[in-house]
Amino acid sequence: MTIVSKTIIGEPTYTTEQISRLQTLANMSENEINYNDIPETTAKDWADATSGYLGTQPLKHKKLDDDVQSWLDKQDNSTLSHINEMIRHVMALHAGMVA
């Protein structure tokens, strides 16, 4: 499995033109937005949607030992991605998917 990640350090930098365009978009009403180039959505398309979730919700997991949790809290995203990859491999081993 390939994991792609991007770390953003600090606030993004925008040009004056970009800021102006973003302000224009922010001030647009729904009626002013042109949706002609995208397919129409239905209630079914949004049935499983989660409002406000951008992958920043706290992890839900079994209780880890304090020393393990402390170590994990200090790791960068790259290390955490590798840990997730290793856990998925162990899961596959337990499921009999990997020899």
pLDDT in tens, the chain (99 residues): 567 777 777 777 889 999 999 999 899 998 898 888 888 888 998 888 877 666 655 656 677 788 888 888 888 888 888 888 888 888 888 887 655
pLDDT for res 46 = 85
The answer to whether residue 80 sits within a structural domain is: yes
The count of domains in the chain is 1
The answer to whether residue 92 sits within a structural domain is: yes
pLDDT for res 96 = 75
* SS3 of 23-41: HHHHCCCHHHCCCCCCCCC
The answer to whether residue 81 sits within a structural domain is: yes
CA dist., res. 42 & res. 46, Å (int): 7
State how far the alpha carbon of 87 is from the alpha carbons of 31, 36, 43, 90, 92, in Å. 47, 44, 36, 5, 9
CA dist., res. 85 & res. 99, Å (int): 16
The two tokens of residue 39 are 């397919």
Domain that residue 72 falls in:
64-99
pLDDT for res 54 = 62
Query: pTM score, two decimals?
Result: 0.34
pLDDT for res 23 = 93
Q: Residues 14, 22: contact at Cβ < 8 Å?
A: yes
pLDDT for res 99 = 53
